[in-house]
A = this chain, B = another copy of it.
Amino acid sequence: MTDRFSFRLLETDAGARLGGIATPRGIVRTPAFMPVGTAATVKAVYPDQLKAAGADIVLANTYHLMLRPGPERIAGLGGLHAFMRWDKPILTDSGGFQVMSLAKLRKVTDDGVTFQSHIDGATHVLTPERAIEIQCLLGADIQMQLDECIELPASRDVTQRAAERSLAWGARSQRAFERLLEAGTAKPGQALFGIVQGGTDPELRQRSADALVEMSFAGNAIGGLAVGETQHTMLATLELTVRRLPADKPRYLMGVGTPIDLIESVARGADMFDCVMPTRSGRHGQAFTWAGKVNLRNARHADDPGPLDPESSCPAARDYSRAYLHHLVKSEEYLGAMLLSWANIAFYQELMQAMRAAIAEGRFAGWAAETKRRLAQRGSDP
């Protein structure tokens, strides 16, 4: 344990990086996948199950928590870790992305964003300063600057304005964080990450990255991807952005992705990821396995006594028959969503662990090629 935030790069192999982020709440082994605990709970999964699956860190959404139950309330209850019973690191986003995707009647100015809650229509204001204040109230170990997220496709002008505004908000977020550190509201082991925007425009991405690197955040995130562009475009943008980022700081690719996205992105030097896919797919009857995606709604599972994966260390994947999972999904039983979300979270952690082992042993390229082939089988489910 440490009382400081630090990143250590241990190995690189075929572009992929093995490392560790040290925080006062524990080490995050990278490449790392962060399960998404939107409203202070990873949907349908117990905290103990996350830990047993190997998750070192979870993500929580500032947008949701600012609306309900409110950051001041969570602070009064001892912070987000105590509230949701998760004592390992937590990363919170800044709310920028959800304001774009969920809030109603939003209005963005240079000062910040005014929007209506999707829950009760109440008006809220999110500025770079308030986003940091909220994340400090939550007690997040890794905090994110407020950025402006735009929908793709967007014109170059719109993309550029949002990228520049995000940089300006990054600087304000940083000053706000420093003030809160001085005031003792932020804690020394907590860290603030900046976010590169710039859409899929190579030049805007590079300029944004260069400007962000100048500001010297504790970590650098790549935002505004995985919003509908092709995988090819996403990976190309990631690749050219990563080249401008320093090697000695963690790189967080926000909102990604499928298992194959993760492998491709690790191969391009990304260290951290988050995505609702494992839990959302689990609630919709889909399982991720080493043999590809399995759709448990499919009638071919109705009489199958075999588990999702007899080799898994996760009870949900190892001990329950596909026939039972099929029945639970068809019957819309809670336990179906519970078991599949758990199994998917465990699979994602197994995938990251396998990547870390392959990098450590200098066989990442071969491992990646073989694993992508296996995953592309899609479990023979359409």
Report the stretch among A75-83, A166-174, A353-361 that lies at the interface: A75-83
Whether A303 contacts B41 in the complex (CB less than 8 A), given A68-B330, A85-B320, A338-B338, comes out as: no
The residues of B that contact A73 with a CB separation of less than 8 Å are: 302-303, 323
Considering residues A44, A46, A82, A327, which has the most beta carbons from chain B within 10 angstroms of its beta carbon?
A327
Query: In the complex, which residues 321-368 of chain A have their Cβ closer than 8 Å to any Cβ of chain B?
Result: 321, 323-324, 326-328, 330-331, 333-335, 337-338
Docked complex Cα distance between A311 and B327 (Å) = 37
Docked complex Cα distance between A335 and B77 (Å) = 19
The residues of B that contact A328 with a CB separation of less than 8 Å are: 39, 41
**Taking the complex as formed, is A305 at the interface, i.e. its CB lies under 8 A from any CB of chain B?**
yes
What mask results when residues 190 to 202 of chain A are scored 1 for a CB within 8 Å of chain B, else 0? 0000000000000
**Taking the complex as formed, is A319 at the interface, i.e. its CB lies under 8 A from any CB of chain B?**
yes
Size range of the interface on A? 35 or more
Docked complex Cα distance between A69 and B41 (Å) = 31
Query: In the complex, which residues 193-251 of chain A have their Cβ closer than 8 Å to any Cβ of chain B?
Result: none
The residues of B that contact A40 with a CB separation of less than 8 Å are: 324, 327
Docked complex Cα distance between A7 and B94 (Å) = 62
A37 to chain B, nearest CB (A): 10
Residue in contact with A323 in the complex, picked from B45, B69, B333, B335, CB distance below 8 Å: B69
The residues of B that contact A68 with a CB separation of less than 8 Å are: 327, 330-331
The residues of B that contact A85 with a CB separation of less than 8 Å are: 319-320, 324
Considering residues A45, A73, A303, A324, which has the most beta carbons from chain B within 10 angstroms of its beta carbon?
A324
Q: Which residue of B lies closest to A334 (CB)?
A: B44
**Taking the complex as formed, is A17 at the interface, i.e. its CB lies under 8 A from any CB of chain B?**
no
**Taking the complex as formed, is A84 at the interface, i.e. its CB lies under 8 A from any CB of chain B?**
yes
The residues of B that contact A320 with a CB separation of less than 8 Å are: 85
Q: DSSP class of A's interface residues: helix, strand, loop or mixed? A: loop
Whether A77 contacts B333 in the complex (CB less than 8 A), given A83-B324, A323-B83, A327-B39, comes out as: no
Query: In the complex, which residues 18-68 of chain A have their Cβ closer than 8 Å to any Cβ of chain B?
Result: 39-41, 43-46, 68
State whether A334 touches B43 (Cβ < 8 A).
Answer: yes
State whether B334 touches A303 (Cβ < 8 A).
Answer: no
Q: Which residue of B lies closest to A326 (CB)?
A: B69
State whether B303 touches A335 (Cβ < 8 A).
Answer: no
Docked complex Cα distance between A324 and B80 (Å) = 10
Docked complex Cα distance between A76 and B302 (Å) = 11
The residues of B that contact A331 with a CB separation of less than 8 Å are: 39, 68
Whether A333 contacts B41 in the complex (CB less than 8 A), given A321-B83, A323-B83, A338-B338, comes out as: yes
Docked complex Cα distance between A78 and B43 (Å) = 32
The residues of B that contact A335 with a CB separation of less than 8 Å are: 41, 43-46
The residues of B that contact A333 with a CB separation of less than 8 Å are: 39, 41, 43
Whether A338 contacts B77 in the complex (CB less than 8 A), given A302-B69, A333-B39, comes out as: no
Docked complex Cα distance between A335 and B324 (Å) = 21
A-B contact pairs, 14 of them (CB 8 A): A41-B334, A43-B335, A45-B335, A46-B335, A46-B338, A68-B327, A68-B331, A69-B326, A69-B330, A77-B321, A77-B324, A83-B321, A84-B324, A85-B319
Pairs of residues from A and B, 10 with the lowest C-beta to C-beta distance, nearest first? A44-B334, A41-B335, A69-B327, A39-B331, A41-B333, A77-B323, A77-B305, A43-B334, A83-B324, A39-B333
Residues of A participating in the B interface, judged by any CB pair closer than 8 Å: 39-41, 43-46, 68-69, 73, 76-78, 82-85, 302-303, 305, 319-321, 323-324, 326-328, 330-331, 333-335, 337-338
